[in-house]
Amino acid sequence: MKKFIFVSGGVCSSLGKGVAASSLGALLEGRGLNVRMVKCDPYINVDAGTMSPYQHGEVYVTDDGAETDLDLGNYARFTSGRLSAANSITTGQVYESVIKKEREGRYLGRCVQVIPHITDEIKSRILAAAREDPDTDVVIVEIGGTVGDIESIPFLEAARQLIHESGRDNALSAHLTLIPEVAGGELKTKPTQHSVKAMQEQGIQPDVLICRAPVILDEDTRRKIALFTNIESDAVFTSYDVDTTIYEVPLVFFEQKLDQVVLKKLGVESRHADLKPWYSMMERFASRKGKVRIGIVGKYMDLHDAYKSIYEALFHASLECMVEVELVKIDSARLEEADDPGAVLGPEASGGGVDGILVPGGFGQRGINGMVQAAAWARRNGTPYFGICLGMQIMVIEWGRNVLRWKDADSTEFNPDTKYPVVSLLVDQIDVKDYGGTMRLGKSVSVAEPGTHILAAYNEKNISERHRHRYEFANRYRKEMAESGLRIAALTPDGSLVECVEWPDHPWGLGVQFHPEFKSKPTAASPLFRDFIAAVRDRKRAVIPVSERCV
Ligand code: GLN
């Protein structure tokens, strides 16, 4: 019998529901259970693929090419259960399929309604995700939004029905709320009481309460909350603010016995907890020495979530390389305004410049020339450079313009009339007019060439990573690019597409057409992020006199 945990939130948004749900997933995996994480998003978009990174943060891509909410990235970083299109359920998808069935006459003339038709569709999608992997023991369903939102009601009703149908031993509700601190340092429980009442009005009695608070709640406060919410006081937990990293949250919960209480409520016999990878990750966190500054040269710099997986992967690499990484966010348009990119990137810049440059993925023309300038500067100065998707295309454009002297070399995405379209559309993409889910998406294999940095990083010729792009390195320039020295470091297995380029005679200048950030974990960094940070660290240490080195 599969077990279900429904994670909801109250009081306000941005309390860290995704991190709380994922941390619980990590603890249950630590107890040897197979966990599947599902996100229910109340928005009406069918998927996150067409949403602006400015509005909604990054689009997280799964192996099977689903363009999903960035919360799935949290699941991937904390847990190891399968992630596919089935892990992401949106109101848009639910209505799309109900309306399709209605048009096909599959409701046999009945009036189609939110209850039961929409709620049944939600339930059947949750159950399908639970069934997809026969080994799944526990399904953790995170319900987006805040209790009381109009849009969340059908999802909460579906959760209520599933809890009822599964029986209290097989399903539970975990509710996350805020305990604010008012002037004078007093912690207030009233919003939490109201939030649980709002859940009860939906017909759901939370079994477990996770309170987001500045400090761990004392016994009296927990007892008071328990009394007013009908929850046992040993099932009231605190997600207190940690000053280390969000990846400590599983351990914060473990120390409060969250997993033990949950397993008991679900009737799963307690097993040995193995959290070694999490504890050793925290040891590495504490042993980091020295710091490197990484310039992220992109266009969505104002919203941290727009490059969430990239920033997290850099942090994972910092743990593995045991050096702190400081993110220096540089809007590429700013580089276009500067006469000399060195004034923004080099040692004379405020903060002392950057030790490495990462150009992440992106769409559209704005700021492209600034990225090309950053790449040129890194190539000429021997500064480690990591290009991801658009960042690899930038390397190709820069090489065309500055090494081959093709002045207007460009991608046809930015200049359709260029004389040198060194990055262009695949033939099968030329007529695409529909922007939802039509890119090269999801997992595929790249084959690394011998003697390359990419092969050294993965230590494996066949590399499986995920794609999300429309444009490609243009094959008609492959020969000239390679003959002039640009290393074609990985190809698709049939040799038809370039997947990685590297700069010759450079400490570490590499661009990949895929997105390695999606598979990086705090307990196992992406090999390319790890080697990039290692190259930055080693170069920095080598140029600092030994007597002044931190390590
Ligand atoms: N805009 C580029 C393309 O579509 C790069 C996309 C990306 O960086 N994800 O090919």
Q: Which pTM value belongs to this model?
A: 0.92
- Binned at pLDDT 50, 70 and 90, residue 550 comes out as very low
CA of 32 to the centre of ligand 1 (A): 39
Give the CATH H-level superfamily of domain 283-547: Class I glutamine amidotransferase (GATase) domain (3.40.50.880)
Q: Give CATH 3.40.50.300 domain extents, the chain.
A: 3-267
Query: Which residues of 253-404 form beta strands (DSSP E)?
Result: 291-298, 324-331, 356-359, 385-388
pLDDT computed for residue 255 by the predictor: 96
Give the CATH H-level superfamily of domain 3-267: P-loop containing nucleotide triphosphate hydrolases (3.40.50.300)
Ligand 1: residues within 6 Å at CB?
A: 361-363, 389-390, 413, 468-471
Q: Give CATH 3.40.50.880 domain extents, the chain.
A: 283-547
pLDDT computed for residue 224 by the predictor: 94
Rounded CA gap, 168 and 171, in Å?
A: 5
CA of 451 to the centre of ligand 1 (A): 27
Rounded CA gap, 100 and 292, in Å?
A: 53
CA of 196 to the centre of ligand 1 (A): 44
pLDDT computed for residue 46 by the predictor: 85
Active site residue 389: yes
Which is the closest atom of ligand 1 to the Cα of 472? 10
pLDDT computed for residue 128 by the predictor: 95
For 217-235, the pLDDT digits (tens) are 999 999 999 999 999 999 9
- Binned at pLDDT 50, 70 and 90, residue 549 comes out as very low
Token pair in block for residue 484: 């002039």
Any residues with CB less than 8 A from the CB of 480 and at least 6 apart, and which?
404
Active site residue 211: no
Which is the closest atom of ligand 1 to the Cα of 362? 8
CA of 55 to the centre of ligand 1 (A): 18
Instruction: Tell me the mean pLDDT in the region 331-352.
Output: 87
Does residue 154 have a pLDDT over 90?
A: yes
Rounded CA gap, 58 and 153, in Å?
A: 26
Instruction: For residue 478, count CB atoms less than 10 angstroms from its CB and return exposed for 0-12, middle for 13-18, buried for 19 or more.
Output: middle
Does residue 211 have a pLDDT over 80?
A: yes
Least confidently predicted of 107-121, 341-355, 524-538: 341-355
Which is the closest atom of ligand 1 to the Cα of 468? 9
Mutate to test the pocket of ligand 1, among 58, 410, 412, 470 (most ligand atoms within 8 A of CB): 470
Token pair in block for residue 193: 């009481």
Any residues with CB less than 8 A from the CB of 153 and at least 6 apart, and which?
202
Tell me which of 389, 469, 472, 502 is the catalytic residue. 389
Active site residue 219: no
Does residue 546 have a pLDDT over 70?
A: no
Residue nearest to atom 7 of ligand 1 (CA): 361
Give the chain's mean pLDDT.
Answer: 92
Measure the CA dihedral 525/529/532/536, to 10°. Answer: -70
Mutate to test the pocket of ligand 1, among 297, 363, 428, 435 (most ligand atoms within 8 A of CB): 363
- Binned at pLDDT 50, 70 and 90, residue 300 comes out as confident
Instruction: Tell me the mean pLDDT in the region 466-483.
Output: 95
pLDDT computed for residue 69 by the predictor: 86
- Binned at pLDDT 50, 70 and 90, residue 343 comes out as confident
Residue located via tokens 């997993």: 259
Least confidently predicted of 105-109, 113-117, 131-135, 424-428: 424-428
CA of 410 to the centre of ligand 1 (A): 13
Q: State yes or no: cis peptide before 206, omega within 30 of 0.
A: no
Residue nearest to atom 6 of ligand 1 (CA): 469
For 420-457, the pLDDT digits (tens) are 999 998 765 555 545 454 688 999 999 999 999 999 99
Closest CA to 297 of 245, 228, 345: 345
pLDDT computed for residue 551 by the predictor: 41
For 271-287, the pLDDT digits (tens) are 899 999 999 999 999 99
pLDDT computed for residue 80 by the predictor: 94
Does residue 506 have a pLDDT over 90?
A: yes
Instruction: Tell me the mean pLDDT in the region 132-147.
Output: 94
pLDDT computed for residue 337 by the predictor: 85
What is the side-by-side strand order in the sheet with 471-473? Answer: 410-411, 421-425, 471-473
Any residues with CB less than 8 A from the CB of 306 and at least 6 apart, and which?
53, 54, 57, 58, 298, 300
Mutate to test the pocket of ligand 1, among 389, 465, 514 (most ligand atoms within 8 A of CB): 389
Residue nearest to atom 1 of ligand 1 (CA): 363
% of the chain at pLDDT higher than 70 = 96
- Binned at pLDDT 50, 70 and 90, residue 193 comes out as very high
pLDDT computed for residue 519 by the predictor: 97
Residue nearest to atom 8 of ligand 1 (CA): 361
Measured CA distances, 293 to 324, 329, 384, 491 (Å) = 9, 10, 11, 31
CA of 304 to the centre of ligand 1 (A): 19
Token pair in block for residue 262: 């949950």
CA of 240 to the centre of ligand 1 (A): 38
